[in-house]
Structure 1
Amino acid sequence: MSPHLLQASAPITLLGGGKVNANHLSRALALAPEIVAADSGADAALAAGHRPGRVIGDLDSVSEAALAVLPPGCLHRISEQESTDFEKCLRVVDAPLILGLGFLEPRLDHALAAMNVLARFPGRRCILLGETDLCFLCPPDLRLAPPEGARLSLFPLSPVAATSEGLRWPIAGIDFAPGGRIGTSNEVTGPVRITVASGALAVILPVGELEATAAALMAGAAAGG
């Protein structure tokens, strides 16, 4: 299969088979109107009154009812079982930004698997939305301006070396690592800049920061950061 099944010039919304908050979906679609579904994410899309343009995955979870109303041309089966449907989607979808819903809730194992995929696809700018939080892989140079006092957590998905500005507890010189030092519940004190020298670092913010975070990641990508 082509490494780029879908090449999009604008952000897309990617739906998984987990819990999808209707309000969060509306906000995501305002930023990224095109819907791609990961397997049974097609059911989530149809239940919300939307028809996905493409359904990607091993297609072992999508319902017969969904298959009956979706045109065969939008179904893209990737049969191998060595990867999750989320990974299959990131592998073949190229977009300036992906907003993913239905990957963090309600199962912890699915959420951990999704975070693992983010770490292995650093070239994909992807924000995952949960009920209360969003998360994304920090690009090499991240600039954000959350409200002063906002919670900003950092979780290393590999050993990480990074520096920061605008955080109550600076991270320069800290050896972040899974099973070692992490950055839960840091606090914004001003405009934030995080520079990652090495490693995979997840950024976690309140879901209310979606629009500002999406704009910051798009601006950073345009600037080559």
Structure 2
Amino acid sequence: MKYDTLVTLLGGGQVSRSDLDLSLSLAPALVAADGGADRALTLGHFPEAVVGDFDSLSAAARAKIPDRALHHVTEQESTDFEKALGHIDAPGVIALGMTGRRTDHELAAWHTLLRCRVPACIVVAEEDIVFLCPPELRLDLPVGTRLSLFPMAPVTGRSEGLHWPIDGIAFAPGRAIGTSNRVSSPEVLITVDQAAMLVILPKQQLSAALSALF
């Protein structure tokens, strides 16, 4: 599915109407991952496409969606989030409803960000946004903003504009992480040696992240 605009990808987790409306103002094409179609309809929006194995898509929602908009993927080796990202060809994706309801689903979402690097995707959670750090990331952020880095594999890098620089740190799960850092300069530069570092920012910095990534 090819889109010229950013895409809002909606999962079946809890999503506020205000978060969805904000996402659609920035990423106007709405795609649902399986039961996310039910969530979209409940919030008053009609998805352009639904992708998944349809194990959580209700019969009522399915009856309202044209067959041409249903993209049934039968394999069970990936999550619906991953299935949906694999069907989207777009400049970028804002994903909602992928976190908050179940811890295993949330862990799977971070796995998906690492596994599916194209298109670039920002996951919106209840308080934060999370995305995979590209090789070079420049962010314009207010001084004092919380910025966390969490490695999904061994990764090193360098930084400018962070209170605690990351230069020389061998990050890895179970070894060293970079949570609860903060911005010390209005412009932040982060470089990493491989795409294996999650960036976590307050949700209020969604526009800044979009400007940096897309």
TM over 0.5: yes
1:193 aligns with 2:182: no
- Equivalent positions of 1:53-132 (< 5 A) are 53-132=48-127
Contact 2:134–2:195 (Cα < 8 Å) also in 1: no
1:173 aligns with 2:168: yes
Q: What TM-score do you get using the length of structure 1 for normalisation?
A: 0.93
2:4: which partner in 1? 9
Contact 1:12–1:35 (Cα < 8 Å) also in 2: yes
Contact 2:155–2:171 (Cα < 8 Å) also in 1: yes
Compute the displacement of 1:122 (Å).
2.2
| Residues 183 and 11 (structure 1), Cα distance of their counterparts in 2 relative to 1, 3 Å cut | same
Give ranges in structure 1 of 5+ residues lacking alignment: 1-5, 219-225
Compute the displacement of 1:198 (Å).
2.2
Q: Secondary structure at the match of 1:178?
A: coil
AA aligned opposite 2:114: A
How high is the sequence identity, in percent, across the aligned residues? Answer: 53
1:42: which partner in 2? 37
Aligned residues: CA RMSD:
0.9
Compute the displacement of 1:76 (Å).
0.5
Compute the displacement of 1:196 (Å).
1.1
2:206: which partner in 1? 210
Contact 1:13–1:29 (Cα < 8 Å) also in 2: yes
User: How far, CA to CA, are the matches of 2:158 and 2:4 in structure 1?
Assistant: 32
> Which has the higher mean CA deviation after the structures are superposed, 45-54 or 194-203?
194-203
Compute the displacement of 1:146 (Å).
1.2
Q: What TM-score do you get using the length of structure 2 for normalisation?
A: 0.97
Q: Secondary structure at the match of 1:124?
A: coil
AA aligned opposite 2:192: V
Q: Secondary structure at the match of 1:167?
A: coil
